[in-house]
Chain A
Amino acid sequence: MDKLGFLGRRLLQLVPVAVGITIVVFLMLRLIPGDPVRIILGSRATPEAIASLQRSLGLDKPLWEQYILFLGNLARGDLGMSLLYRQPVRALVLERLPATLWLVAYSAVLAVAITVPLAIVAARRKDRAVDQVIRGGTLLTLAMPSFWVGIIFMMFFSLRLDIFPVSGLGEGVRDRLYHLFLPSLTVALSLSAILIRSLRSSIVAVTLADFVDTARAKGLTERRIMLKHILRNALISTVTILGVNIGFLIGGTVVIENLFAIPGLGALMLSSISGRDYPMVQGITLVFAVLVVAVNILTDLTYAIIDPRVRL
């Protein structure tokens, strides 16, 4: 039951953040230099068209009233109309969301699969040659632009070896995992460079903890100590570190979607910019923020479940 209370308190803390997010998304439109309506419609628009678009964007009312209206629409799940597609933003966003979620989840899984073994090896062989090599590798990877890594992957795995497709989403789970492998690997690589560093130092810290000495004194094998004691704690750290970097992960997919032509939110966001589809950009920005917040809550919950000490 206390886990439920924990969730409740966590959600309550979110209220000011949620309000802040809506304010940022609402005010974004104000950054447009000049009159957004004239920019959208061009210089040859009729006064009637201008007035009508102003009404539909709600720009003819005072700012605070516009914000209340905006909140009311949000509460009903209304993200406004896309200027480019002439359809509700919500429908278009929901249509593109699954591809992005696939990419995010797949990248997270691959990142963990890369991170955990390398971080363990580095921590176990701290300051030895292997550790230095892994350290150097993360330094290099951290300095590589992910879109460039993606292109290199394309040139090698898709064009030269012809084992992975250059773009697209695929149908069905297996085909999708196959299509999204290179893009996810690209996102995962840059993420794991960050994760390996944090996880390595947290494993080193755990290794020095008293319960490891105790386990050793009990005569447990090194293998058992590693698996049952150190790794379990390291896993908790991994979840936390992953949660902290979720914004980085989701941001990474935006660029990679555009490179691999994956029909997700990031690709939609970019195509909306050139079409001056401001409501769409606002809607997608909002959805991305909701995604980050949701994953953060999920991380906290996972944390509470796998760490028996959390009895908040």
Chain B
Amino acid sequence: MATIQAAPAASRATIREASRPLWRNPSLLMGATLLAIVAGLAIFAPLLTPYGPIDQDLLNAHKPPSWAHPFGTDNFGRDVLTRVLYGARIDLMIGLVPTAITFVTGVLLGAIAGYYGGKIDTILMRVVDVAVAFPFIVLLIAIIAMLGPGLRNMFIAIALVGWISYARIVRGEVLVARNAEYVLAAKTLGFGDARIIFGHVLPNVITPAIVFFMSDAVLNILLGTALSFLGLGPQAPTAEWGRMIQEGRQFIVSGEWWMTTIPGLAILVVGVAFSLIGDGLADLLRVEERV
């Protein structure tokens, strides 16, 4: 009995351990703080700036950074700082929404394929083989080319393809776990498949998928802003960082660096925040392997 209960008990212990040394995990702490700051700036954007994200002021167009406009203004005289703040709302969504969708579908599909094996598994692995034969962004571009540009279709495109990595990770873990003693014990006790998968297998194998969630969020922000830069994301006049870089791009020739540099730095900050959280989580959850 002791060995049978060891696995779930260990994961519970991990969670308790995990909540303790948060301040001793500088990566996680720094990442979470950065992300919280960006989220705060996004939420309270209307309180932080006197301008609106699409308010044009043609008399003050193309202005370099000044006290009135700390990050300058764009070709329509819109305040770049304001647009970066409001843009955070969309770009944080690009980082989190498709990632969350693909996390859930990928984990489910991977768990089912790994647990049942057989035909379901074979089909899933074939689909994976085919999907990875396409460069990820090319597949996204192709899907958006068919569906039409826009934020919603961008999310649909990522949701259609992005689950692959999670399914692969979780399937591999479940393949090992399904022969573990605690699973056999649960089967012997007559538990249903759903109860075994959700109650026993998944809690023990989900860690790598959670860690991957953070690098995937970075990847999706980079992909999303790239698609948006290519004109396939939210349309004008929406304030979104990739789009802002696209719009400011033609003005680098006249030395107007702020329209492109600032939104790029914003992407970088959010990307680093997610990366740090990912590194921190990986460090933290490695406790489990030692137990």
Q: Which residues of A contact B (CB under 8 A)?
A: 16-17, 20-21, 23-24, 28-29, 31-33, 139-140, 142-148, 151-152, 154-155, 159, 247-248, 250-252, 254-255, 258-259, 269-270, 272-274, 278, 281-282, 284-285, 288-289, 292-293
Measured between beta carbons, the chain B residues less than 8 angstroms from A255 are 137, 226, 229-230
Q: With A20-B127, A292-B133 as known contacts, state yes or no: A273 contacts B145, CB within 8 Å.
A: yes
B218 engages A143 (CB within 8 Å): yes
Nearest neighbor of A33 in chain B, beta-carbon distance: B147
Which of A21, A23, A143, A147 meets B268, CB within 8 Å? A143
B138 engages A140 (CB within 8 Å): no
A288 engages B134 (CB within 8 Å): yes
Measured between beta carbons, the chain A residues less than 8 angstroms from B264 are 144-145, 148, 151-152
Q: List 15 A-B contacts (CB under 8 A).
A: A24-B130, A24-B139, A33-B147, A142-B271, A147-B226, A148-B264, A151-B245, A155-B257, A251-B137, A259-B249, A273-B144, A281-B146, A284-B138, A285-B138, A288-B134
Inter-chain contact count A-B, CB under 8 Å? 146
Measured between beta carbons, the chain B residues less than 8 angstroms from A143 are 218, 222, 267-268, 270-272, 274-275
Measured between beta carbons, the chain B residues less than 8 angstroms from A259 are 249
> In whole angstroms, how far apart are the Cα atoms of A272 and B142 in the complex?
10
B129 engages A16 (CB within 8 Å): yes
- Contacting A at CB under 8 A, from B226-246, are 226, 229-232, 242, 245
> What are the nearest 9 A-B pairs in CB distance?
A143-B271, A20-B130, A148-B264, A251-B135, A251-B137, A31-B146, A247-B135, A273-B145, A285-B142
> In whole angstroms, how far apart are the Cα atoms of A33 and B268 in the complex?
35
A278 engages B230 (CB within 8 Å): no
Query: Does B253 touch A at the CB level, under 8 Å?
Result: yes
Measured between beta carbons, the chain A residues less than 8 angstroms from B141 are 254, 269-270, 273
B205-234, CB under 8 A of A: which get 1 and which 0? 000000000000010001001100111100
Which of A32, A159, A272, A281 meets B252, CB within 8 Å? A159
> In whole angstroms, how far apart are the Cα atoms of A274 and B245 in the complex?
19
B135 engages A152 (CB within 8 Å): no
B230 engages A151 (CB within 8 Å): no
> In whole angstroms, how far apart are the Cα atoms of A69 and B255 in the complex?
54
Measured between beta carbons, the chain A residues less than 8 angstroms from B249 are 151, 259
Q: With A31-B146, A139-B272, A145-B222 as known contacts, state yes or no: A159 contacts B130, CB within 8 Å.
A: no
> In whole angstroms, how far apart are the Cα atoms of A274 and B141 in the complex?
12
Which of B143, B245, B274 meets A31, CB within 8 Å? B143
Query: Does B60 touch A at the CB level, under 8 Å?
Result: no
B133 engages A21 (CB within 8 Å): yes
A288 engages B271 (CB within 8 Å): no
Query: Does B75 touch A at the CB level, under 8 Å?
Result: no
Q: Assuming A139-B276, A155-B252, what are 4 further A-B pairs, CB within 8 angstroms?
A: A16-B126, A159-B253, A247-B134, A251-B137
State the majority secondary structure of interface residues on A: helix
Nearest neighbor of A256 in chain B, beta-carbon distance: B226
In the complex, how many angstroms separate the beta carbon of B263 from the nearest chain A beta carbon?
8
A250 engages B138 (CB within 8 Å): yes
> In whole angstroms, how far apart are the Cα atoms of A146 and B137 in the complex?
13
Q: With A145-B222, A151-B264, A247-B135 as known contacts, state yes or no: A281 contacts B145, CB within 8 Å.
A: yes
Measured between beta carbons, the chain B residues less than 8 angstroms from A146 are 222, 226
In the complex, how many angstroms separate the beta carbon of A30 from the nearest chain B beta carbon?
8
Measured between beta carbons, the chain A residues less than 8 angstroms from B135 are 247-248, 250-251, 254, 288-289, 292
Query: Does B132 touch A at the CB level, under 8 Å?
Result: yes
A31 engages B147 (CB within 8 Å): yes
Measured between beta carbons, the chain A residues less than 8 angstroms from B231 are 270, 274
